[in-house]
Amino acid sequence: MTLATAGRAQRRSSVVVVASSAVALAVLVALSGCVPIKPDRHPIPTGRATPFSVAPAAPLVVPAVLDYCPLESAVHFDGYLLPVDEVFICRADGSHGSDGVSTFGPWESASSVEHPASLLAAYHVADARTTDARCTRSFHDPLIVWVHHNGVTTAYYAPVDRCRYPSSAATSAYEKARRTVLIDVDRGAPDTQSLLPSKKDATR
């Protein structure tokens, strides 16, 4: 073998070694999980959203209404969709024509929901995941419903979107729910005032 031929063989050998080393390094980097990942342009989920409040937007205070919708923290409607005894919606922000003499307001009411299956199905949806996207933070009514079953009453809030507002589907189901008013009390009427807890008692 001439000196020139030996030199070319050595260079080819060096190229093979270098190439093999580069491949091995690439495999090692890939296996170690160090391959750079392009940044995700979409917001990153950080957990399940929760409502701003788990209590009615306007507090319930009329004893007759509380018989249907007792004071308790609302929870998400989990579990299985099973037949229930009754579903109630109670609110304390109702309004009627008021003359300031015989009617005053606000009105507090308890209503029974007719055929509540679609309403409960909408409430059975999971809360959305929060993201790092910016949201306008403001209070929203949690749209609570009270479910009676086997002697137990449970309050459920409407599932929320990523900004912690009631989802559009749950809001629509709540607004469209057919209701039969069971009791409607004028909280501003003098004869009702005597039945309500005092402001001092209400803040305890």
Query: What's the whole-model pTM score?
Result: 0.69
Of 49, 56, 86, 85, nearest in space to 70 by CA: 56
Measured over the CA atoms of residue 30, residue 33, residue 34 and residue 37, the dihedral's sign is positive
**pLDDT over 60 at 21, yes or no:** no
Residue 69 contacts residue 146 (beta carbons within 8 Å): yes
Per-residue pLDDT reduced to its tens digit, 57-107: 999 999 999 999 999 999 999 877 778 899 999 999 988 766 666 677 789
Which contiguous run of DSSP H or E holds residue 66? helix 63-66
Distant-in-sequence, close-in-space partners of 141: CB < 8 Å, separation ≥ 6: 56, 57, 166
The reported pLDDT for the residue numbered 76 is: 95
Residue with the larger pLDDT of the pair 39 and 66: 66
Kindly report, residue by residue over 127-186, the tens digit of the pLDDT. 999 877 788 767 789 999 999 999 999 999 999 999 899 999 999 999 999 999 999 998
CA distance 59 to 90: 10
Q: How many residues does the chain have?
A: 204
| Pairwise CA distance, residues 204 & 183, whole Å | 26
User: Which residues lie below 8 Å from residue 166, measured CB to CB, with a gap of 6+?
Assistant: 51, 140, 141, 142, 143, 157, 158, 159, 160, 174
Sorted by sequence, the CB contacts under 8 Å of residue 40 that are 6+ apart come out as none
Q: Which amino acid is at 47?
A: G
| Interval 110-126: pLDDT, tens | 999 999 999 999 999 99
Strand spans (E) along the chain: 47-48, 86-94, 107-113, 129-130, 145-149, 152-156, 179-186
